[in-house]
């Protein structure tokens, strides 16, 4: 159980600065997800937390104590690597028990803890196997087991599910989250998959180019994205972004005429971008948006209807039973409070 705090963290590799003045607080027992595209510094931040990478500037605090110069061994942190980093010459039980063996625990106690972890992770039948004899999902669980027996203060995960197939990923997502709810260990979890972030996180930390773009609950990020970037990153299918201007107290663009959302800071004449989530819209006989149907993609539960509006692709999610034909002209509508407006130049939410 621990809190983790980053105070004005700076990181450079030689002359290249990859992280600038990053500050973040992670509460005791929280499941925090670092989310962002490739190269935005998620792994770097995680490795600094573990002590595998030096911190160039600022302070890293665990439970309020400064950790910048503390050896990884003494940080009481457990980490699951993207490639699992299992010890190939040791059987599963030794992989899981290695940290306890290093700490010179009695053999019987190690055995007990390893067996308990294996039972939780469904690995009991595989304890004598070697990592190369396991499937990807089983290896992933061994890596989890290694972290579990530690009873460490903080768990760090670096894209632990990226090597698994979609079905297994969905299952492990749930298992990891359930494990966290049981152990209540402070967890920092890195991913570039927004679905993982949305489904698992207590708190999402959205990163971009070594900076934090937005911090909040999954609902915060979905319902009130702080910037164009955040709006575009979260949600599938992606949010529709339409450039336009505020004219006569309304948003105007080619083929679209929308009321302004209540409480917006947008001013008359301003160049703004409207963000409309496909799932917030409804297809109907009347509406403020008019477009020509290009294609309807069935996803199973519903369908994503692609519209051509002034040459741009526009997606509306509709129930499966709504029938649309290509080249048909349809209307779509959205409640005003669901419209997100951003300043086109700065990307900031208005």
Partner 1 sequence: MIVESASRRRVRTVLAVAVVALFVFPLYYWTTTAFKDAREIFNIPPNVWTFDPTLKNFEEVFGISLGFLRQQEVLPGGGNFYMAPRLWDSIVVALGSTALAIAISVLAAYALSRMDFRGRHAFVGWVLSTRMMPPVAVAIPMFFIYKDIGLMDSYLGIILMHTLINLPLGVLLLKSFFDDIPKEIDESALIDGASRFLVFRRVILPMAKGGIAATAVLCFIFSWTEFIFVLTLTQTGLKTVPVVSSSFVTSTGTAWGNMAALGVAAMVPAFLFILLVQKQLVRGLTLGSLKQ
**Partner whose footprint covers residue 83, from ligand ATP, Mg ion, partner 1, none (CB < 5 to 8 Å by kind):** partner 1
Least distance from Mg ion to the Cβ atom of residue 43, Å: 3
- The stretch near Mg ion (CB under 5 A) out of 40-48, 285-293, 312-320, 339-347 is 40-48
**Nearest-approach distance from CB 240 to Mg ion, in angstroms:** 30
Q: Which of 9, 32, 41, 256 binds ligand ATP (CB under 6 A)?
A: 41
**In contact, 337 and 276? CB cutoff 8 Å:** no
Q: Which of 30, 31, 32, 44 binds ligand ATP (CB under 6 A)?
A: 44
85 binds, among partner 1, ligand ATP, Mg ion, none (CB under 5 to 8 A by kind): partner 1
Q: What is the smallest separation between the CB atom of 180 and Mg ion, expressed in angstroms?
A: 21
Largest CA-CA distance found in the chain, in angstroms, rounded = 77
The residues of the shown chain that bind partner 1, judged by CB under 8 A, are 50-52, 71-73, 75, 77-79, 81-83, 85-89, 98-99, 102-103, 131-132, 146, 150
Query: By the 8 A CB rule, do 331 and 290 touch?
Result: yes
Residue 78 to residue 143: CA distance in whole angstroms: 10
Which whole-number Å values give the CA distances from 203 to 23, 25, 50, 146, in the listed order? 15, 10, 20, 25
Residues numbered 15 to 34 that lie near ligand ATP (CB under 6 A) are 16, 18
CB neighbour class for 28 (10 Å; exposed up to 12, middle 13-18, buried from 19): middle
Q: Is 44 in the site for Mg ion (CB under 5 A)?
A: no
Residues 100-139 binding Mg ion (CB under 5 A) are none
DSSP 349: B
98 makes contact, choosing from ligand ATP, Mg ion, partner 1, none, with CB < 5 to 8 Å by partner type, with partner 1
CB closer to partner 1 out of 139 and 169: 139
Which of residues 5, 43, 67, 172 is near Mg ion by CB under 5 A?
43
Residue 218 CB, shortest distance to ligand ATP, in Å, is 19
Q: Which of residues 273-332 bind Mg ion (CB under 5 A)?
A: none
Angle at 168 between CA 165 and CA 172, to 5 degrees: 130
Beta bridge partners of 282: 333
Closest to partner 1 by CB, 6 vs 84, is: 84
Place of tokens 């971008």: 273
Residue owning tokens 């409070």: 337
DSSP annotation string for 223-281: HS-SBHHHHHHSSSSPPEEEEEEEETTEEEETTEEEEPPTT----TT-EEEEEE-GGG-
Find which of partner 1, ligand ATP, Mg ion, none residue 18 binds, CB within 5 to 8 Å per kind: ligand ATP
Out of partner 1, Mg ion, ligand ATP, none, what residue 192 binds, judged by CB under 5 to 8 A for its kind, is ligand ATP
Question: Taking Cα atoms as reference points, which of 312, 313, 272, 309 lies closest to residue 289?
Answer: 309
Contact status, residue 207 vs residue 36, Cβ threshold 8 Å: yes
Smallest distance from partner 1 to CB 262, Å: 50
Beta bridge partners of 65: 62
Residue closer to partner 1 by CB (options 71, 167) is: 71
Q: Could you say which of 9, 24, 42, 330 contacts ligand ATP (CB under 6 A)?
A: 42
Round to the nearest angstrom and report the end-to-end CA distance of the chain. 39
Q: Which residues bind ligand ATP (CB under 6 A)?
A: 13, 16, 18, 36, 38-44, 192
Q: What residues make contact with Mg ion under the rule CB under 5 A? A: 43
């Amino acid at each position: 159980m621990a809190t983790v705090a980053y105070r004005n963290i700076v990181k450079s590799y030689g002359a290249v600065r990859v992280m600038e003045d990053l500050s973040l607080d992670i509460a005791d027992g929280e499941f925090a997800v670092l989310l962002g595209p490739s190269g935005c510094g998620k792994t770097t931040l995680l490795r600094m937390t573990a002590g595998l990478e030096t911190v160039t500037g600022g302070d890293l605090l665990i439970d309020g104590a400064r950790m910048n110069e503390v050896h990884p061994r003494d940080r009481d942190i457990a980490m699951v690597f993207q490639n699992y980093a299992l010890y190939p010459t040791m059987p599963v039980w030794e992989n899981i028990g290695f940290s306890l063996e290093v700490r010179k625990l009695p053999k019987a106690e190690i055995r007990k803890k390893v067996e308990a972890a294996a039972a939780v992770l469904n690995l009991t039948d595989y304890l004598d196997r070697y990592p190369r004899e396991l499937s990807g999902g089983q290896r992933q669980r061994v890596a989890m087991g290694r972290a579990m027996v530690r009873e460490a203060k903080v768990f760090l995960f670096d894209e632990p599910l990226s090597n698994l197939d979609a079905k297994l990923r969905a299952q492990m997502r749930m298992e990891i989250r359930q494990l966290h709810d049981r152990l209540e260990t402070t967890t920092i979890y890195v991913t570039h998959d927004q679905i993982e972030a949305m489904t698992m996180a207590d708190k999402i930390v959205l990163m971009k180019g070594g900076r934090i773009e937005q911090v909040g609950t999954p609902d915060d990020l979905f319902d009130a994205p702080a910037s164009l970037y955040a709006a575009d990153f979260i949600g599938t299918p992606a949010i529709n972004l339409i450039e336009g201007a505020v004219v006569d107290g309304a948003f105007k663009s080619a083929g679209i005429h929308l009321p302004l959302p209540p409480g917006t800071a947008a001013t008359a004449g301003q160049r703004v971008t409207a963000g409309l989530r496909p799932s917030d819209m409804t297809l109907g006989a009347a509406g403020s948006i008019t477009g020509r149907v290009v294609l309807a993609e069935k996803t199973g539960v519903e369908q994503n209807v692609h519209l051509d509006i002034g040459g741009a692709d526009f997606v509306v999610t509709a129930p499966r039973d709504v029938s649309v034909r290509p080249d048909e002209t349809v209307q779509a509508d959205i409640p005003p409070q669901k419209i997100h407006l951003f300043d086109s130049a700065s990307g900031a939410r208005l």
